Amino acid sequence: MPRQFFVGGNFKLNPTSRAQKQALVKVLNDADLDLNTEIVISPPSIYLIPLKEIVRKEIKVAAQNCYYKDNGAFTGEISAGQLADAGIPYVILGHSERRTLFHETSEEVAQKTKAAVAAGLSVILCVGETLQERESGATTKVVSEQLDAVVKAIKEEDWAKVVIAYEPVWAIGTGKVATSAQAQETHLAIREYLTKAVSPKVAEDTRIIYGGSVNAGNCKELSLQPDVDGFLVGGASLKPEFVDIINAKKVKAKV
Ligand code: 13P
Q: What is the mean pLDDT of each run of 10 residues along the chain (255 residues)?
A: 96 97 97 97 98 98 98 98 98 98 98 98 98 97 98 98 98 95 98 98 98 98 98 98 97 68
**Is 254 within the bounds of a domain?**
no
**Is 22 within the bounds of a domain?**
yes
**Is 182 within the bounds of a domain?**
yes
Which of 95, 97, 108, 129 does the annotation list as catalytic?
Answer: 95
**Is 252 within the bounds of a domain?**
no
Cα separation of 42 and 211, whole Å?
14
**Is 99 within the bounds of a domain?**
yes
In this predicted structure, what is the pLDDT of residue 255?
A: 61
CB atoms within 10 A of CB 131: 13
**Is 17 within the bounds of a domain?**
yes
Q: What is the dihedral of CA 178, 180, 183, 186, to 10 degrees?
A: -130
CA of 81 to the centre of ligand 1 (A): 26
Range of the domain at 29: 6-246
**Is 159 within the bounds of a domain?**
yes
Cα separation of 172 and 135, whole Å?
16
Alpha-carbon Rg for the chain, nearest whole angstrom, is: 17
Question: Is the pTM of the predicted complex or chain greater than 0.75?
Answer: yes
Domain CATH number, residue 44:
3.20.20.70
In this predicted structure, what is the pLDDT of residue 252?
A: 72
Cα separation of 41 and 55, whole Å?
10
Query: For a pocket test of ligand 1, which of 129, 213, 218 has the largest count of ligand atoms closer than 8 A to its C-beta?
Result: 213
Indicate if the alpha-carbon torsion angle 207, 211, 215, 218 is positive or negative: negative
Cα separation of 185 and 179, whole Å?
10
235 lines ligand 1 (CB under 6 A): yes
Structural domains of the chain, count: 1
Among candidate residues 194, 187, 103, the one with its CA nearest the CA of residue 154: 194
